[in-house]
Structure 1
Amino acid sequence: MACLYRTFSPPSMRLNSPTYFTLLLLMNIVLGVFVFHYGLSISYIDAVYFVVTIVTTIGFGDFNLAAAPLGIKIYGIYLMLSGAGGYAILFSLVVDRLIKNKLLEITGKKTYKMENHVIICGFGKVGQKILDTLLLLGDSVLVIEKNEETQIDLLQNQNIPYIIGDICQAETLTKAAVAKCKAIIFCTDNDLANLEGALTAQEIEPNVRIVLRIYDQTLARKIQNGFNLKLVFSTSTLAAPTFAQAAHDENIISTTRVQNEVFLTTKILITSQSQLDGIRFAELQNQLEVAGLVLYKANGRQIRFPQADEVLQGGDEMIVTISRDSYKTIKRLNKRKQ
């Protein structure tokens, strides 16, 4: 079996992959079935039963190798040793993998394979409020925090994945899967660290949506103009939910929670040749329970509280209040027909 393991497993996977080791043990069992089927002239089902009792060291005495040929006896000894030893090794590999992953997760050093998630860099008071808003919006969130003593227990209690590390290091952002994230928010108390982290994220993934917190309003404006960062906000003028809304969707203006349901006030630009192009506003109201606030027609006309018979056309932009689930539906309907 060791020979087979060296032959068929890549060097990088040897002795550290439960999957490969399980496959080899299964191959060993299948080989044993054929050996006993032809060597002892027993049925396949009896051969399977015999092999399983040998490798699991559970024998009932109904089958034995006392009268078997010498070669079969030798193979039976090999099967006993390889079965007992192999399963012991497999068990240790599985336990080692589970413990190692849990330790990496607890210590904040795990590398995550997430997609379409929002990364929060900095878990101070602002970061905690941003997290609450993102969870309200239904986003998957990962937190990066440099200080191990910062409210990490709150993340553990909510099963929020987190990384303990420097947001300015490419290695830390790579562990957080920044290349596949929906957006990344830099909201520490250090303006320079936020800026450096944002530039590092932009180097890794130029198209990533970056929401940057800068305390000084004048500096925020200069950074926005000088570093090609669209979503730069000053904390002296905006509250934490604004950062979360910008990360979730740049078209969202505000969020409101009524009992257990979340409502969004958002801008929607009607896409030409989409399912929304050419329908009456009444259809949106009936199907998705949309409350229209303002409709900006493509010809420049502005209509407050659009009437039910108003027809939507490509290029129109409307501001509506809508539930979170209905907003997902309306975004799908607003895609250009293939």
Structure 2
Amino acid sequence: MTSEGWGAGPVEPISQHYIVCGGNALAHRLAHELVEHYDVPVVVLVPDRLRDHAPRIEQLEGVAAVVEYGSVTEEALRAVRVEAARGIAFVDGTDQENIHAALSAQGRNPGIRIVLRMFNQRLGANIERLLSNGTALSGSATAAPAFADAALSRPNSVQVGDRFLHIAYDDDIRSDRLCVVADRIDRQDLGRIRLLPDQEGDAASFIRLAGEFGDDGPIHSGAEARRAAGTGAGAPTGGIAALQTLRGDPAVRIPWWRRLRWRLLDTLRFFTSVRLRVVLITALAAVLLAFGLLWHLNGNFAWTLYSALLDLAGAAQPDRPGDAAGAGTGGSWQRVAQVVITFCGITFAPVATAIAVEVLASGRRGQPRNPGVGTRDHVVVVGLGNVGTRVVSRLHGLGVPVVGLESDPQARGVSAARALGVPVVVDDGPLHEQLRRARLKHSRAVVAVSGDDATNLEAALEARAVRPDVRVVLRLFDDSFASHVYATLDNAASRSTSYLAAPAFAAALMGREVLGTLSVFRHVLLIAELSAELGSGLIGLNRHDLEERGGVRVLAVRLARSPQVYQWRYADRTRALEPGDRVVVAATRSGLARLNTTLTTGG
């Protein structure tokens, strides 16, 4: 690898290479993905070789060159020889900057494959029409479902046709599983995991499992397997993961009455301050006590209600001196009760006016809401950047109460949360104080997705200090760091945004369509759909050909004569694919890369 100074291009002329523009975590993972799994020449264009992930990118084996330019200009594109490149990915900068750079690259090389990272997916879909050979992806949108689902302890799923694919573990694995995707999982040492192990066809794995655990029986958990094998608790035997289908996206079931209670309490909190609530609650309590006294003395509920409503409106008819006992309101205690109700009714009018003035005149509608006193069973999202914004939106769409926590009032997610009506704590004070204001004691999970591993770990530890049993989900880049988290924290999950998104970006750069990614702890399983087009190396291959290279399992086939029908567990392993056929596969990163090489070379 060569590293060049500002304004310099690759030392040696290079062609048929791939260019990665950016110095962030996604650029780092993408460059690593291309050189390790696709074995293609890669040139990386970084804005500053001393900042962010640029120093680590320079250390990657197999990267042809690292070039430094402050922005992706025409001069920078010439320096990385875009006119001779096969593909280019823009994974840093704003949406506007990436669009401008993509159009410039297409102008210099009309046939180049372009992949650009876009936060605004709607805009990205429209930009794709301007690119002759390009696609727009959102790294945060790719990764956010895994974070949200981990917070809810629900399976992360990818929709394929009318089914949802998800990963099941140990005793949750059913007999109708599509395939085993991992065995030998040691939760204390995730480096021992074996994702989509090599096998001699589908039957071999099931025969082996049947021999270990019994015919047609459930796959045992790691603990049960150790007992069956007579090994101790310290043995390295782990669990098993399998790919299964659901008939519908798993819903988050929250009783309607709890949602109604949250809404009522939050509405009261939004429209009133603490002092106004004290006045209202005191007056309401006095009215109820007086109403109860009147009802007790008169014994007629209808008359009592009628009289109390008139008193609240200030329309009571007072007794006059000389009236006989029992006339009019009658009785001293009844008179006292009616006076209390009347004065409370007089109080409600100015309080209602004060509420209207506070809401309409103070401009509070333009500010993000603080968490209400009724906020319960919510998810606290720490960090409202691109990923945090997506996580908040997904949780809100599922009907789960969510509270955002952000130190920068100008962060993208603050305005997005305000538009959704999601409460946000905006403060740069101590983290434990921010978590307290986010009502951590009543939360169901904390999702720490800021851009800094140390900050995310701090948020998890602070949360555990307040609530030892709260579920924590962390965004961590470093794999060894994440392994230590798994080993020391219970009820915790770790995800890497770049690790989840990079395989999809790499596959898109190679012209493959990735439907989604599934997490097996820190490992990634790709669900992709391949199309057998004229000139493609896929034509003529059968299911056995696709799977024998390792790291690939065929899940379903859509034949050209019936493209709307997904034929799951396609039984014919010898039928050669014809033009127009489409194949849905589950693949590891290396498996999809090997398959891509086969299809590109045509054999």
The alignment's TM-score, normalised by the length of structure 2, stands at 0.31
Q: Any conservation in 2 of the 1:105–1:162 contact (CA below 8 Å)? A: no
Q: Match for 2:378: what amino acid?
A: H
Question: What are the superposed Cα offsets for residues 195-253 of structure 1, whole Å, 9 maximum, x if unpaired?
Answer: 1111011222223221111234444445444666842333442239x9x987xx99x97
* Distance in 2 separating the partners of 1:96 and 1:238: 51
Of Structure 1 and Structure 2, which has the larger fraction of its residues in helix? 1
Quote the residue 1:26 is aligned against: 288
1:178 paired to 2:440: yes
Quote the residue 2:403 is aligned against: 142
Question: What are the superposed Cα offsets for residues 165-199 of structure 1, whole Å, 9 maximum, x if unpaired?
Answer: 35963333234343443432111123222111110
Question: What are the superposed Cα offsets for residues 9-68 of structure 1, whole Å, 9 maximum, x if unpaired?
Answer: xxxx9x926345323223324545677x69xxxx88667655654453226x8x863651
Q: 1:75 to 1:56 in 2, by over 3 A?
A: farther
Q: Any conservation in 2 of the 1:217–1:233 contact (CA below 8 Å)? A: no
Q: 1:226 to 1:54 in 2, by over 3 A?
A: closer
Q: 1:160 aligns with which of 418, 422, 445?
A: 422
Quote the residue 1:84 is aligned against: 342
* Distance in 2 separating the partners of 1:96 and 1:255: 57
Q: Match for 1:68: what amino acid?
A: D
1:119 paired to 2:377: no
1:122 Cα deviation from its structure 2 partner: 0.6
Gaps of 5+ in 2: 1-274, 505-516, 529-553, 557-567, 572-585, 587-603
Quote the residue 1:237 is aligned against: 499
1:58 paired to 2:320: no
Q: 1:167 to 1:221 in 2, by over 3 A?
A: farther
1:154 Cα deviation from its structure 2 partner: 1.6
Identity, % of aligned pairs?
A: 18
1:129 paired to 2:390: yes
* Distance in 2 separating the partners of 1:114 and 1:186: 19
Match of 2:408, SS state, is coil
Q: Any conservation in 2 of the 1:185–1:211 contact (CA below 8 Å)? A: yes
* Distance in 1 separating the partners of 2:394 and 2:331: 68
* Distance in 1 separating the partners of 2:305 and 2:496: 70
Question: What are the superposed Cα offsets for residues 66-91 of structure 1, whole Å, 9 maximum, x if unpaired?
Answer: 65159959878866754432223345
Q: 1:87 to 1:215 in 2, by over 3 A?
A: same
1:128 Cα deviation from its structure 2 partner: 1.7
Q: Quick check: 212-221 or 185-194, which moved more?
A: 212-221
* Distance in 1 separating the partners of 2:527 and 2:279: 46
Q: Any conservation in 2 of the 1:201–1:208 contact (CA below 8 Å)? A: yes
Quote the residue 1:282 is aligned against: none
Quote the residue 2:3 is aligned against: none
Match of 1:163, SS state, is strand
1:148 Cα deviation from its structure 2 partner: 1.9
Q: Match for 1:56: what amino acid?
A: A
Spell out the pairing of 1:1-338 with structure 2 (5 A cutoff): 16=278, 18-32=280-294, 49=306, 52-58=309-315, 65=320, 67-69=322-324, 82-91=340-349, 106=367, 108-135=369-396, 139-151=400-412, 152-165=414-427, 169-225=431-487, 230-239=492-501, 305=569
1:156 Cα deviation from its structure 2 partner: 1.9
* Distance in 1 separating the partners of 2:365 and 2:426: 10
Which gives a bigger RCO, structure 1 or 2 (Cα 8 Å, sep 6+)?
A: 2
Q: Match for 1:162: what amino acid?
A: V
Q: Match for 1:87: what amino acid?
A: G
Q: Any conservation in 1 of the 2:371–2:439 contact (CA below 8 Å)? A: no
Q: Match for 2:323: what amino acid?
A: A
Gaps of 5+ in 1: 1-12, 257-291, 295-303, 308-320, 322-338
Q: Match for 2:285: what amino acid?
A: L
Q: Any conservation in 1 of the 2:389–2:416 contact (CA below 8 Å)? A: no
Q: 1:170 to 1:155 in 2, by over 3 A?
A: same
Q: Match for 1:89: what amino acid?
A: T
Q: Any conservation in 2 of the 1:55–1:82 contact (CA below 8 Å)? A: no
Paired residue total: 240
Q: Any conservation in 1 of the 2:368–2:423 contact (CA below 8 Å)? A: no
Q: Quick check: 74-83 or 204-213, which moved more?
A: 74-83
* Distance in 2 separating the partners of 1:97 and 1:79: 27
Match of 1:192, SS state, is helix
* Distance in 1 separating the partners of 2:287 and 2:399: 43
> Considering only aligned residues, what root-mean-square deviation do their CA atoms show, in Å?
5.1
Match of 2:425, SS state, is strand
* Distance in 2 separating the partners of 1:22 and 1:215: 54
Q: Match for 1:84: what amino acid?
A: T
Q: Match for 1:145: what amino acid?
A: E
Match of 2:500, SS state, is coil
Q: Match for 1:201: what amino acid?
A: A
* Distance in 2 separating the partners of 1:48 and 1:141: 41
Match of 1:239, SS state, is helix
Q: Any conservation in 1 of the 2:441–2:466 contact (CA below 8 Å)? A: yes
